[in-house]
Amino acid sequence: MKKICILIFLSLLPLVTRAAQDITQLEGSFKVGPAIILIIILSSFVLVGIVFRAKDTTDYYAAGRSISRVGSGMAIASNWMSAASFLGMAALMYGAGYHGLAYVVGWTGGYVLLLILMAGQIRRYGKYTAADFIGDRYYSQTLRTISAVIAIVISIAYAVGQFGGIGLLFGWVMGINYPLAVIIGGSVVLLYTLISGMLGVTKNMQIQYVIIITSFMVPLFILTAKYDYFWLLPQIGYGTVVQDIVEGIKIIDKPELYNSLGHHFAIVPSPEYAMPWDPSTRQTFFQWMAIAFSLMIGTAGLPHVIQRFYVVPKARDARWSVVWGLFFICLLYWSAPVYSAFGKILSSNPEVGKLAADAIVVYTAQLGDVNPLIVGLLAAGGVSAAFSTVSGLLVSGSSAFAHDLYVKVIDPEAKPKTQMLIARLGTVLMAIIITAIAMADLALIAQLVAIAFSMAGCTIFPLFLLGIWWSGSNRAGAKAGLIAGSIVTLISLTYLIGNRAGWILPYNDFITYYLGAWYFAWIGAPLAIATNIIVSLFTEETPVAIRKFLIEKVHS
Amino acid sequence: METEEYRISFFKPTTQQAKKNRTLIVQLFIIWAVAIFGFQILLKILEKPVPEEALIVFSHAWERIETGEATSPDYQAAARSMLQVMGKTTIEPNEYDALKDGVGWALSELYPDAELADIQADVRNLFRLREQITTLQDERYLEIKEVIISKAAPVLGIGENTLLAQILPVGLDEDLPVLSEENRIRIPAIMSLYLIHNRSVLTDTIFLGFPFHYFYTSVFLLVFFIGLCWVYCYRTDRLHARLNFLEQID
């Protein structure tokens, strides 16, 4: 097999080298070099998936609990570093400057909450899925079913943004339109997830992490060196780039430097890029805070993130895997703003026109005249980022479908083979739904993903937080809290869809602003927690068996 | 009695390990919250709206234009300021068009009437050519751009080898002498929107090349989060070792 792979690679090498000359425009026709790199990388994922494929349900759901801390940290990072991280963050900062940093802070700060409040306890509770935990802790089949459905909805919402990123990059590489690119990209990721299952996925995630971070970093060294900034550590060296954007760069400052379209490396003073909640970005202080907060608690409530802690052998490993995971994630998050800063300067001439913000990472490398093969690798890294997250989401969603809905509710006697079949059917069904929604191209990738975070923050997070830390939280309280969180979610999403459809709903401006779809958890989560506590205090106490379990298994 | 014993609450820990764990969590949580939200609140408290130099120049010139007292330097100053805003990538297309209308009109006020038709024809040619070319390096396209720069830039008091001169050719409206009433009213508001920024000592202090607040939020906080996580894991491990606390494995 190894020899065959080397042979294939060597036979494609001349074609790849020739293809290096193909990219002359930002958009355009089929790009052979990037396409071949993409095919090689995706094929290697499938191969690894086959070699490490799931052999039974334990493997499929929780990777046999055989992953090391660092390996699990890499898997957490790879699972986490989605199209929203790879493409979306730079897009937000490119368009809204400092406002975009709310996403950076929200998506990293949430891990501190996750660690100190949940990681070890979740692992000690010893369940496979979020719905499993909720159904068990709140001794309710209804809650298990509802939370399984919520987990599926969250996974779908999260994956829509990923499919958007896959579509964008497949479209860029193949020179085809967005809807067709979404269908092709979606089919490939579905095939790969079905073959590999979670054990393959976890192994793949470690490989994917290396590819993602390498492809993301290499162009940064090239850009900083080429445009005469401190290139040894671009994540610090770009500070001067930011300051240059604020003060402006005159042509005479760097007269010999150009972008790939022949424009000087120059920009008018643009303090709006770095100044907080600048009026021209139409984003406010409140929105910055609400987004950061919502993303943080959403992080601690996302089923596919929580599920990662089931695959480490011990609670101690779960804790340390968060530290490693966060470190690996931050490597990318320190780097993403560099792309937006260079993108800002390189695309500043109005002749460049309005660029699709979600592709600014790739455009920046192109405008910086980075070697087309490296740009191709960058695009492949973006696809890998989306793939690794989507596969985790599909596994998480299908686990909820097969394990929490089918086995626990419909057929408790189901054989492992049937369970696997149901899980795979669930995966296919989810992929079809996600593809259909992604084709509508509703918002920026990071914004679409932020919806999933707020949904998780309003529904799953309160149930886990109170379920772990307060034995007084009971079934009635959980149901009431879930209803409160769900109502806020529904209101926000109704207004989002309404606005997209052109409807004028009551108190439209007020609700759209204070319950924005990207950050409604800022109020939804506290409301759900308060409701849960109040109702729990006035209803029948949690059964002693559950409380005993909490004391003996989770907190001792 | 048994049921009383099996109650847990984060705020009422019953074992020594639980008490220490709670204290650690509370400490880290407070540090975490202050580091993130406390800093942003401080940024908000300290900020002041500060206009860019271009807005001060523009406001003075526009006021004279509106009162009919404007001289050539006023039109030049207004046009240069508007071009500067048109060079910002965040500008909305409809606002860009309004400013384009303004720059074209300011140029027409300064340009000799007899030659106005020529430059207008050049601008139209440029736009027409733009629809046809496949690369911005097209020689004919570059040639017309240079012609427009050489004609218009000196009139507006712009150096030919400057960034504003590069922005100028595509920043001119095809219908130069006309400024719509709607745009005349909108332009000052657009200029204010793009040229006033929230600044403070935290944004104006430079640290490792960054504006300090930007460094703090984009670089330092992430390091800090990893540090907090590391501290939690390290102290938890030590606590468990000291109390001989063995975590159960299912």
The pLDDT value given to residue A155: 86
Q: pTM here?
A: 0.89
B74-78: average pLDDT: 95
Considering only alpha carbons, which residue of chain A is nearest residue B231? A323
Q: Kindly identify which residue of chain A lies nearest to residue B126, measuring between CA atoms.
A: A351
Residue A101 lies in a domain: yes
Using a CB–CB cutoff of 8 Å, tell me whether B4 touches chain A.
Answer: no
pLDDT at B95 > cutoff 90: yes
Answer yes or no: do B127 and B33 share one domain.
no
Residues B186, B68, single domain; the answer is yes
Measured between beta carbons, the chain B residues lying within 8 angstroms of A292 are: 36-37, 40
The pLDDT value given to residue A415: 84
Contacts of A316 in chain B (CB under 8 A): 237, 240, 247
Q: What is the ipTM of this complex?
A: 0.91
Among all residues of chain B, which has the CA nearest to that of A27?
B134
Calculate mean pLDDT across residues A133-157.
90
Q: What is the pLDDT of residue A18?
A: 38
Contact A208, A388 (CB under 8 A): yes
Å between B231 CA and nearest CA of chain A: 10
Q: Which residue of B has its CA nearest to A233?
A: B208
Specify the number of domains making up chain B: 2
Q: Please say whether the beta carbons of A71 and A206 come within 8 A.
A: yes
B173-187 confidence digits (pLDDT tens)? 877 778 889 999 999
The minimum CA-CA distance between B69 and chain A, rounded to whole Å, is 29
Tell which B residues from 217 to 236 touch A, by Cβ distance under 8 Å: 217-219, 221-223, 225-226, 228-230, 232-233, 236
Query: Residue A195: which CATH number?
Result: 1.20.1730.10
Residues B183, B153 share a domain: yes
pLDDT category, A201, cuts 50, 70, 90? low
Q: Does A137 fall in a domain?
A: yes
Res B37: pLDDT: 97
User: Looking at CA atoms only, how far is residue A102 from chain B in angstroms?
Assistant: 9
- Is pLDDT larger for residue A10 or for residue A400? A400
Q: DSSP letter string over A514-543?
A: HT-TTTTHHHHHHHHHHHHHHHHHTSPPPP
* Whether pLDDT at A512 is above 80: yes
Same domain as B221, residue B195: no
Q: Are residues B187 and B231 in the same domain?
A: no
Contacts 24+ apart (CB under 8 A), B206-210: B206/A243, B207/A239, B208/A236, B208/A239, B209/A230, B209/A236, B209/A237, B209/A239, B209/A240, B209/A242, B209/A243, B210/A239, B210/A242, B210/A243
B230 and B107 within one domain? no
Within the 471-510 window of chain A, which residues sit less than 8 Å (CB to CB) from chain B? 471-472
Computed over every residue of chain B, the mean pLDDT equals 90
* Contact: B249, A313; criterion CB under 8 Å: yes
For residues A452 and A151, the answer to whether their CB atoms sit within 8 Å is no
The lowest-confidence range among A58-72, A79-93, A334-348 is A58-72
CB of A79 closer than 8 Å to CB of A302: no
Tell me, yes or no, whether B89 and B100 share the same domain: yes
B158 Cβ partners below 8 Å, 6+ apart?
A: B80, B83, B152, B164, B165, B168
Looking at the 3D structure of chain A, how many domains does it have? 1
What percent of chain A clears pLDDT 90, i.e. is strictly above it? 45
Range of the domain at A228: 28-441
Q: How far apart are CA A272 and CA A251, in angstroms?
A: 20
Q: B246 CB near a chain A CB, below 8 Å?
A: no
Q: Range with the lowest mean pLDDT among A39-43, A101-105, A142-146, A515-519?
A: A39-43
Residue range of the domain that includes B124: 50-199
Question: Considering chain A, what is the average pLDDT of its residues?
Answer: 85
B110-164 confidence digits (pLDDT tens): 988 888 888 889 988 998 888 888 888 888 999 999 999 999 999 999 988 899 9
pLDDT tens-place string over residues A455-491: 999 999 999 999 999 999 999 999 999 999 999 999 9
pLDDT digits (tens, 9 = 90+) for A307-359: 766 666 677 887 888 899 999 999 999 999 999 999 999 999 888 888 888 88
Tens digits of residue pLDDT in A395-417 = 777 877 887 788 877 888 888 88
Residues B39, B122 within the same domain? no
Indicate if B147 and B24 belong to the same structural domain: no
Q: Is residue A182 part of a domain?
A: yes
Inter-chain touch B208–A239, beta carbons under 8 Å: yes
Does B192 share its domain with B98?
yes
Q: What is the pLDDT of residue B250?
A: 42
Does B153 lie in the same domain as B141?
Answer: yes
